[in-house]
Amino acid sequence: MERETHPYRTWSHVQKVDRLTELCRELIKRGIRVEMSDARPALSARFSLTTPRLSVQMVDGAFVWRRDDTDRHAADDVPGAAHRIADFLKARDGSGAS
């Protein structure tokens, strides 16, 4: 059964860590290197060690990966968020080849 959440519900620290962990798994499937901080909670993603890290965190029920909050995707759609983040990294860094 698909999880339904209100976009502005309060997410606990543990729920954010769990959802970010799911996102890590999806990004790894797409060949993206990830590092996770459960203290914040947040993750960083990049295609190779020579490209800048992209920080991703959860804000108001969405994954947010730009400081101006213009790039966000509902946290209930982890595969869709991973796809958009991968596309963002490809556009930012070129082909994404390591």
> Which pLDDT belongs to residue 7?
52
Cα within 13 Å of Cα(48), Cβ side: 10
Residues 6+ away with beta carbon under 8 Å from 45: 27, 32, 33, 34, 53, 54, 56, 65, 85, 89
What span, in angstroms and rounded, lies between the C-alpha atoms of 56 and 42? Answer: 6
Q: Which residues, given as ranges, of the chain have pLDDT below 70?
A: 1-8, 67-69, 95-98
Cα 19 → chain centroid: 9
Which residues contact residue 94 at a Cβ distance below 8 angstroms, ignoring those fewer than 6 apart?
Answer: none
Q: Running DSSP on this structure, what letter comes out for residue 66?
A: S
pLDDT at 25: 98
pLDDT at residue 3, rounded to an integer: 52
